[in-house]
Chains A and B, each alone.
Chain A
Amino acid sequence: MNGQGAPLIELLANLEEESVLALVRRRVASGDGPLAIIEECNAGMRKVGERYHRGSYFLSGLIMAGEIFREVMELMQPVLKGQSTTKTSGRVLLGTVQGDIHDIGKDMVGLLLTCYGFMVVDLGTDVAPEEFVRQVCAHEPNIVGLSGVLTASHAVMRETVERLRGRPCLTDRALPVIIGGGMIDDQICRYVGADYWVADAMSGVRLCQTLMTDPRCSPCTERRASDE
C-alpha cells in the first residue's frame, strides 16, 4: 500500500463521499493501479461493517458506503476497460432467490466481479428456481452465486440448488454454487447443498478467482478475502 492508502480507507469509513471521489480521481490521474484503489475501498467498507455491528452506524450508513463504493467502481470502469485483455476471467451468474428482494450486497459483488474481469449475468431479485435453471442453461456460466438476506431464503436456496443439480442441460463440467447475503455459515451451506459460502463481496471475488484456476478447493468452509 502506498502512502495514500490509509486516507482512502479512513475517508470511506467516515462516509466522506466527495473527499473519497476527489482522492480516487487524483490517484487515477497520477497513474495508481485501479485494483489497489479498489482493495483499499474494500478495506474501508469492512470498517463500515464493523461500525454498523458496533452500533455506531445505522442501515443508512451501510447504504451510503455502498453508494460511495458504487461511484468509485464507476470511476474505475474506464480505467479497467483500458487495461483489460479480450479474455474474461470467467462468467458468473448471480441472483437473489425467490421471496427475497435484497440486492445491495449482490450488486456490489457484481460490480467487483466486473472490475476483476468477470462477465456477470445478473438475474435481479426474487428469482424463481426454475428461472435460475433456464438462465444457467442459456448462459452456461462457470459459477453461480445465490444471494439471500432472510433466513426464509435458505429453504429457497436449497430448492434452487437441487433444481440446478438436476437441470436439463447438465454436463460433466462442474458448476460451483456459492451462497452469500445474510447470516450464513458452514451448517447453512450444507443445508442448502451449495458448494461454498462467503460473508463479504471481496471474498466472493477471491473465491471466483480461485475456482477458475482450482475447482477442487474445500467445500462449505468459510472463505475470506484475506485467505488468498
Chain B
Amino acid sequence: MSERPIDPARTLVMACATVIEEMLPLLPAGMSHKVFDFGLHVNPGNLHRTLQTAIDGVDGAYDTLILGYGLCSLAIVGLKAAHCRIVVPRVDDCIAIFLGSHSAYRQQARAEPGTYYLTKGWIEVGDTPFSEYDRLVERYGLERAKRIFRVMLMNYKRLALINTGLYSMERYREVARGIANRFGLRYEELEGSTNLVEKMINGPWDDEFVVVGPGQEIRYNQFTREVTSHEL
C-alpha cells in the first residue's frame, strides 16, 4: 500500500470519547484531535451524519483524518472527504482497538462470547447499561429493575476490564469489581494493548486498516473477513 508520510500538523484524529482516552497519551506533538459523544453510537445513522458533517467542516484543512472508530454498526460506511485521505482501523468496534487487534478480540469473543467489556473510557463517560440501574429502580421500582437487568444480562457471564497499561487502574478496577459483584458477573481483568492505537497514529497502515483516498467512500466490503476454521 502506498503511503504518504504522516505529518502531525496536517493530521486530525476524530475519535469517540471512549477511544480518545487511549489515544491522548500517545498523540505526537502538533497532532490535533476532535472528540465525539459516546452516546452517538446508539443511533448509527446519527453517528454517521455527525461524523460526515464534521469531516465536511475540516475537509482540506488536513491531509489525513484518522477515525478513532470501528465499523460501529455500519455508522462509518459511506463516509468520505473530498480533499483528505481517511484512515480507520479495520475492526468491528472499539473493543478490538483496546485489545490491540481484530484477532485478539476474536479470541476473547470465541473464549467467552457472553462478556461485557469495560475500559477507563467507558467508566469515565459513565454511559453503560449498569449506570442505568439506579434510575430504573426509581422509575420502575426494585423488582422491575431487577427483572430488566436479568433479561439484559441473561447470557452474560463475565465482566472484563481492559487494561491497556496507559493509566493507573485502581479506581477503575474498584468500579468494575463493584459492578461485577452487584450484577452477578465474574470479574476479570484483560491485558489490552496499545498496538493498534500506535499504528493508527504512526502507521504503518497495513491490512489492519482501511485507507481511502480523497473523494473515495469507506465501503462495507473493506471490513469483511473470512472466518477461519480455527475461529469457529
| Cα distance A158–B231 in the bound complex, in angstroms | 14
B117 on the A face (CB < 8 A): no
Q: Which of A22-30, A34-42, A121-129, A215-223 is the contact stretch?
A: A121-129
**Chain B 100-122 interface 0/1 with A at a Cβ cutoff of 8 Å (1 = within):** 00000110011001100000000
Query: Chain B contact residues: over half helix, strand or loop, or mixed?
Result: helix
In the complex the two chains form, is A129's CB within 8 Å of B73's CB? no
Question: A103's closest neighbor in chain B, by CB?
Answer: B155
Residues of B within 8 A of A154 (CB): 224
Binds A, one of B38-46, B51-59, B185-193: B38-46
Q: Which residues of A contact B105 (CB under 8 A)?
A: 152
Q: Which of B123-177 contact A (CB under 8 A)?
A: 129, 132, 136, 140, 144, 147-148, 151-152, 154-156
Interface hub of B105, B147, B227 (most chain A Cβ within 10 A): B227
Chain A hits for B129, CB < 8 A: 58-60
Docked Cα-Cα span, A174 to B92, in Å, equals: 33
A159: which of B110, B114, B148, B232 is its contact (CB, 8 Å)? B232
Chain A 148-163 near chain B by CB (<8 Å), digits 1 or 0: 0011101110110000
Cβ–Cβ < 8 Å partners of B220 in chain A: 187-188, 191
Query: How many positions in chain A have a CB within 8 Å of any CB in the partner chain?
Result: 37
Task: Determine whether the beta carbon of A151 is less than 8 Å from that of B92.
Answer: yes
Q: How many Cβ-Cβ contacts under 8 Å join chain A to chain B?
A: 87
B232 and A155 form a contact (CB under 8 A)? no
With A58-B132, A98-B232 as contacts: A155 and B148 at CB distance below 8 Å: no
Asked if A170 CB lies within 8 Å of chain B CBs, one says no
Cβ < 8 Å to A, chain B residues 7-50:
39, 42-46
Say yes or no for A180: interface residue by CB 8 A criterion.
no
Please determine whether A129 and B232 come into contact, CB atoms closer than 8 angstroms.
yes
* CB proximity to A under 8 Å, residues B200-232: 220-221, 223-227, 232
CA distance A69 to B54 in the complex (A): 39
Taking the complex as formed, is B179 at the interface, i.e. its CB lies under 8 A from any CB of chain A? Answer: no
Q: Which residues of B contact A187 (CB under 8 A)?
A: 220-221
A64 contacts which of B43, B92, B140 (Cβ < 8 Å)? B140
Q: With the chains together, A125 CA to B109 CA distance in Å?
A: 13
Contacts of A55 on B, CB cut-off 8 Å? Answer: 39, 42-43
Whether A63 sits at the interface, judged by CB under 8 Å, is: yes
CA distance A197 to B132 in the complex (A): 32
Interface flags, A84-104, vs B, CB<8A=1, else 0: 000000000000001111111
B97 is an interface residue with CB less than 8 A from chain A: no
Q: Which chain B residue has the least Cβ–Cβ distance from A159?
A: B227
Contact status B225-A155, CB under 8 Å: yes
Q: How far apart are the CA atoms of A54 and B39 in the complex, in Å? A: 11
* Known contacts A151-B92, A152-B92, A159-B227: A99-B113 contact under CB 8 Å: yes
Contact of A152 among B39, B106, B155 (CB under 8 A): B106
- Give A188 to B225 CA distance when docked, in angstroms: 13
- B93 contacts partner chain A, Cβ-Cβ < 8 Å: yes
User: Is the pair A151, B43 in contact by a Cβ cutoff of 8 Å?
Assistant: no
Residues of B within 8 A of A59 (CB): 129, 132, 152
Q: Which residues on the B side are within 8 Å of A100 (C-beta)?
A: 113
In the complex the two chains form, what is the Cα distance from A131 to B225 in whole Å? 22
Q: Do the beta carbons of B148 and A183 come within 8 Å of each other? A: no
Determine how close the nearest CB of chain A comes to the CB of B157; give it in whole angstroms: 9
Question: Is the beta-carbon distance between B151 and A183 smaller than 8 angstroms?
Answer: no
Interface pairs (10), CB distance under 8 Å? A53-B42, A55-B39, A55-B43, A59-B132, A60-B136, A99-B109, A104-B151, A152-B105, A159-B226, A188-B220
Chain A residues with CB under 8 Å of chain B are 17, 52-55, 58-60, 63-64, 66-67, 98-104, 125-126, 128-129, 150-152, 154-156, 158-159, 182-183, 185, 187-188, 191
The 3 A-B pairs with the shortest beta carbon distances in the complex, nearest first, are A101-B155, A183-B73, A151-B92
Identify 13 new A-B residue pairs, CB closer than 8 A, beyond the known A64-B148, A98-B113.
A52-B42, A58-B129, A59-B152, A63-B152, A101-B114, A104-B151, A151-B71, A152-B105, A155-B226, A156-B227, A158-B227, A188-B220, A191-B224
* Residues in B lying within 8 Å of A, measured CB to CB: 39, 42-46, 71, 73-74, 92-93, 105-106, 109-110, 113-114, 129, 132, 136, 140, 144, 147-148, 151-152, 154-156, 220-221, 223-227, 232
